[in-house]
Structure 1
């Protein structure tokens, strides 16, 4: 989002939640590093790897990616290919931004909804990890929440752009 200073309760709540998710992503990454280190040390020095490292790694990577998604969206740090965008007129750029933002909102909502459905299925079936028996529905619902929050970030950006142009 542009480098303007934003104020107001919605911005404070949103930025606080997004910063908390970014902190979670960093903390999970740190814990993943510790688990990998413990697994390597256990495997090569004690001939006893850390049980469940593979599934912890899978779960941690999903949590890192989805936790960082709202932050990346909030900061508008997604990879962009702008070779067409730079050739558009100012009006064309505005129309393009609105169309892309609406498409992205729709995608985040659809993905969030699909992930919620997967979470409901995982909860109903009692889906757990193989070695450690960790229930997966909580992580799945968390990923859905992160998708929906990312969509909310785009909605906020769209509203801000519409009121400042």
Structure 2
């Protein structure tokens, strides 16, 4: 008789999800703090010393995009997107489960398509050598972050809807 392997896959997945959520939350916190610090320093330097921070506008744009891309998987995993429950009045568990499956397919599919498109866009930006105007920060980095964000969001949506599907069963 062969020994049965001991697998604690759900526990490991939960640990990975908690760790990823912690790291993404910490990254969001740091980006937000950098954005606040940059804005404060730029305002003081601009009005008190008549010498604004070089590239502050570009950095603000990149930091805002970074913040959105880092927060997207967290929002998706928590199920905090805006929902319109068109079929909420449906009776019967089969129809409710069918609605959950349809929403899951649409959400995961859309996030997946956007991730693939962002990969193509990031590759194009990298090939063309596109950079910001004054600081020359490669724009492909933002594209790759966006692609990763949408890919992770697709996985987060899959986990979220799997949990929701089980709850409605």
Residue 64 (1) aligns with residue 59 (2) = no
Q: 2:146 & 2:18 partners in 1: Cα distance? A: 18
1:162 deviates by 4.3
CA deviation string 1:133-153 (max 9, x = no partner): 111212211111010000001
Q: Which residue of the partner structure matches residue 38 of structure 2?
A: 35
Match of 1:4 in 2: none
Within 1, Cα distance between the matches of 2:79 and 2:161?
12
Aligned length: 159
Q: Note if contact 1:28-1:64 (Cα within 8 Å) is conserved in structure 2.
A: yes
Query: Deviations along 1:103-154, whole A, 9 cap, x unmatched?
Result: 0111000100111111101111111111111112122111110100000011
1:52 alignment counterpart = 55
Please tell me whether the aligned partners of residues 116 and 141 of structure 1 are also in contact (alpha carbons under 8 angstroms): yes
- Corresponding position: 1:75 with 2:99: no
Residue 4 (structure 2) aligns with: none
**Equivalent in the alignment of 2:19:** 16
Match of 1:119 in 2: 122
For structure 1, which runs of at least 5 residues remain unmatched after alignment? 1-6
Q: Deviations over 1:30-59 (max 9, x none)?
A: 100100101100110000101111111110
Larger radius of gyration: 2
- For residues 110 and 102 of structure 1, the distance between their equivalents in structure 2, rounded to whole angstroms, comes to 12
> Does the 8 Å contact 2:25/2:71 carry over to 1?
yes
Matches within 5 A, 1:68-147: 68-82=71-85, 84-89=86-91, 90-147=93-150
Q: Contact conserved, 2:100 with 2:165, CA < 8 A, in 1? A: no
Gaps of 5+ in 2: 1-9
TM-score, normalised to structure 2's length? 0.87
